[in-house]
Chains A and B, each alone.
Chain A
Amino acid sequence: MNELFREISSNPFTVSLDIIPVLDYEQFCDQAARMLKDESDHCVAYYAVEMQGSLKLICCIANDRDHILRVFSSMLPSGKSTVRSLSKEVPQLHIYEREIYENHSVVFEGHPWPKPVRYPHNRASKASVMDNYPFYRIEGEELHEVGVGPVHAGVIEPGHFRFICNGEKVLHLEIQLGYQHRGVERLLAETRSGIWRCVLCDNIVGDTSVGYALSYARLIESLAGIQPSRAVQIERCIGLELERIAVHIGDTAALCGDVAYQLGQVVCEALRTEIINTTQFWCGNRFGKGLVRPGGTNYKMTAVVADRILSVLKDVGLRFASVSERIYSLQSVLARFEDIGQVTRQQALSTGAVGMAARTCGIRRDIRWSHPDQYYRDYPFEPVVLENGDVLARGQLRVKEVSESINLISGLISDWRNQPDEHSVPDYNCNLSPDSFALSLTEGWRGEICHSAITDGSGNIVHYKVKDPSFHNWMALALAVRNQEISDFPVCNKSFNLSYCGNDL
């Protein structure tokens, strides 16, 4: 019997394109559907790429339990074709099929929701424009629609939210994205400059700069077969965890702001400032831009930086513990968070939720634990998992993860002090493995970030794919606000804090 998939036990990985099994489309569907019935499996990448006059479908499924990644593929004729949709059977694939339809006009017959994802400039059908998004409608005299955005009341990114309400109650929310589309993937595939790609990856999702730069760096290192020094590996984890701490504390401030608990808001704002100023002390940028590079770093952590990180974390840890304890014991706050914006475990599984959105619904899904890379492999790590799936759970998860990340960093710094002082410098122009498919997964603060690339016979990147955790989690937000008061939308939205630019690319 022919091999149905290729098993890979490392993250990131690079495989030769020709060893990825090519199934016929029916077999491909059966394979995906069979695997994804298992709750511990989820799809981390599924996309189409034009190759030698046909359309190659590549799918990668990650298993949280046996820690294996499985890759398989199929071929479709290039251009418009019609195939059966898997979305009804496996709802988490809905967004991938929508993306393939939008980019390559492959019609997925029976897809319940064949709508645009981001209106990319190179979309297959120019008839699909921002102004004619096919919103879901419900007729009825008691119902009204509320449209919000793309420009919002706050200083945030653009997106359009269309609510269908019965009085104050939300029956349905549909989120239209694409306003932030800048053509990231095409730019990454077209340039031949390694340094340019690095800097671009710092600037795809600014609130997750370290997570994105790390995903890119690991992808390139895998393609080039290189490793930075152990000290640099530890430093990267520290950078990633600092980013997580800063955003989680900032989100706590924002949640307090939305329910008018001003003390919680201002204290958390100030604590976030302490953390991002520490990142700036280390690398000159509050968001860690420029910190992570393939092969090494321009900003070697010094003993002074390490001491500063430890002392700031000690202070912030204590202060955040006391303020968060107060926030989550106040009746007036709890009344706004508890049982609000609930996502059930089943909903989270069927939308393919990742990161915080999954872990607050009782799903143990964390790349640092399931597919650990570099230093996370050597560190006993247990993801925080909560059950209730509401705003309160998403708030409390942040508190627990901040404390876990602080512990993680102190352990990392102790190990770092024992590492030999070998500095690895960035390698921008390393030779990449030819005719290969590579993929890397990183658990950023929102959830898993997936970068993958395909190289040609000379080792040039010819196709680049980026997937933000928000790609899945936007649907979880839309489900969370069903049957909620519309006035609870802001806290629901903040509790997810999803990325627009990460979805739109």
Chain B
Amino acid sequence: MYREIKILRQHGIQYVRDLRNQPVSDLFRGRPVISGDITAAEIEKVSSLCPVGAIDKDSGSIDLGLCVFCRECEFCLKEKIRFTNDYRIAASRREDLVIRPGIEAPLRLNVEVIRKEIRRIYRHSLKLRQVSAGGDNSCEMELNASGNVNFDLGRHGIEFTASPRHADGIVITGPVSANMAAALRLTYEAVPDPKVIILVGTDAISGGMYAGSPAVDRSFIEEHHIDLYVPGNPAHPLTFINGILDLLGKK
């Protein structure tokens, strides 16, 4: 007993008090800011460098749904592209993930497009079933971390369930491998209506590095309405948590 108390004292208080404003290290790769005076030549240079084609050849905007946050564009063009440590980058519409040059404003959820029943039914309790479909296990580990002693997402009534029958929606990670496509559909069908779909990580949103692979089957994603996009490689627990809190309209 005495030893346990000693361990607890060493442990101290670990939980993040303010999930909305928890500082993260300066180097964390979050929302990028692209200088408004980026030239066509510079755009050409970085867009041909980008391994996933996340930088638009014409406008120079960066699509966070494609971006794998490798930061190579910034290393190539330090004076024009800068990844800030702003981790609040989730969106309710796919097109909102596109960051245009000159835009420094934070990314906030477009409330208009959120289905009305989501906030009405799930505001105080949202149970989710996770489906890993070709993920590299980093997003899965970050989702687990969301519920750990530090981030404790459970304090808001948001938790992962063991069965889709007990869930209000699914959280998909990974580019959706063809070998997992059928199991993903079955899991989704097993969730009672109404249900939400959340995509976590760049792989899930666009296929990421695997977008062009013949071993990937994106048809489920293309056929369904997505309620929340949580970019990142992997998505940081704070990105996921803030995205869900915004989706549910929590403070």
Contact = CB atoms under 8 A, between A and B. Distances in A.
Nearest to B232: A285
B185 to A, nearest CB: 11
Interface in B135-178: 135-145, 148-150, 160, 162-164, 174-175, 177-178
B25 A281 contact: yes
B174 A326 contact: no
A161 to B, nearest CB: 14
Interface in B1-28: 3-4, 6-8, 10-11, 14, 24-25, 27-28
Contact of B70 (A199, A269, A277): A199
A273 to B, nearest CB: 5
A337 interface: no
A270 B209 contact: no
B51 A179 contact: no
Contacts of B150: 269-270, 273
B243 interface: no
A281 B27 contact: yes
Interface in A292-345: 298-299, 318-319, 322-323, 326
A326 B130 contact: no
Contacts of B210: 182-183, 187
B77 interface: no
A207 B136 CA distance: 8
B234 interface: yes
A136 interface: no
A20 to B, nearest CB: 30
A322 B6 contact: yes
A468 B132 CA distance: 19
A499 interface: yes
Contact of B183 (A158, A263, A273, A499): A158
A266 B149 CA distance: 6
Contacts of A180: 132, 134-135, 174, 177, 179-180
Contacts of B148: 266, 269-270, 273
A289 B233 contact: yes
Interface in A202-242: 202-207, 209
A181 B51 CA distance: 21
A352 interface: no
A57 B34 CA distance: 50
Contacts of A437: none
A202 B70 contact: yes
Contacts of B75: 298
A263 B8 contact: yes
A501 interface: yes
A504 B133 CA distance: 12
Nearest to B201: A206
Contacts of B215: 120-121, 181-183
B180 A280 contact: no
A107 interface: no
Given A179-B183, A180-B177, A267-B7, A155 B143 contact: yes
B209 A203 contact: yes
Given A153-B162, A270-B150, A290-B71, A181 B28 contact: no
B132 A157 contact: yes
B8 A150 contact: no
Interface in A38-73: none
A201 B32 CA distance: 23
A270 B14 contact: yes
Contacts of B85: 284
Contacts of A285: 28-29, 69, 233
A207 B163 CA distance: 25
Nearest to A209: B138
A495 to B, nearest CB: 17
A283 interface: yes
A287 B177 contact: no
B71 A284 contact: yes
A186 B209 CA distance: 13
A464 interface: no
A135 interface: no
B46 to A, nearest CB: 12
A209 B4 CA distance: 34
Nearest to A277: B25
A156 interface: yes
B187 interface: yes
B230 interface: no
Given A196-B51, A199-B209, A157 B140 contact: yes
A16 B175 CA distance: 37
Contact of A280 (B24, B138, B143, B182): B24
A420 interface: no
B68 interface: yes
A7 to B, nearest CB: 36
Interface string A103-144: 000000000000000011110000000100000000000000
B6 to A, nearest CB: 7
Nearest to B76: A195
A155 B179 contact: no
Nearest to B148: A269
A200 B214 CA distance: 16
Contacts of A282: 27
A207 B137 CA distance: 6
B131 interface: yes
Contacts of B140: 155-157
A193 interface: yes
22 contacts: A119-B179, A121-B213, A150-B183, A154-B160, A157-B137, A158-B133, A180-B134, A181-B177, A187-B210, A195-B51, A199-B70, A203-B138, A206-B136, A263-B4, A269-B148, A270-B149, A273-B148, A285-B29, A286-B142, A286-B236, A290-B71, A501-B136
Interface of B: 3-4, 6-8, 10-11, 14, 24-25, 27-29, 49, 51-52, 68-72, 75, 83, 85, 129-145, 148-150, 160, 162-164, 174-175, 177-180, 182-183, 187, 203, 208-210, 212-216, 233-234, 236
Interface of A: 119-122, 130, 150-151, 153-158, 178-183, 186-187, 193, 195-196, 199-200, 202-207, 209, 250, 263, 266-267, 269-270, 273, 277, 280-287, 289-290, 298-299, 318-319, 322-323, 326, 499-501, 504
Given A121-B213, A179-B183, A187-B212, 19 more contacts: A121-B214, A151-B164, A151-B183, A153-B162, A155-B140, A157-B132, A179-B180, A180-B174, A180-B180, A181-B177, A182-B210, A182-B213, A199-B209, A200-B209, A267-B7, A269-B145, A289-B233, A319-B10, A504-B177
Instruction: List 7 tightest A-B contacts by C-beta distance, closest first.
Output: A206-B138, A206-B136, A284-B27, A183-B215, A153-B162, A121-B215, A196-B51
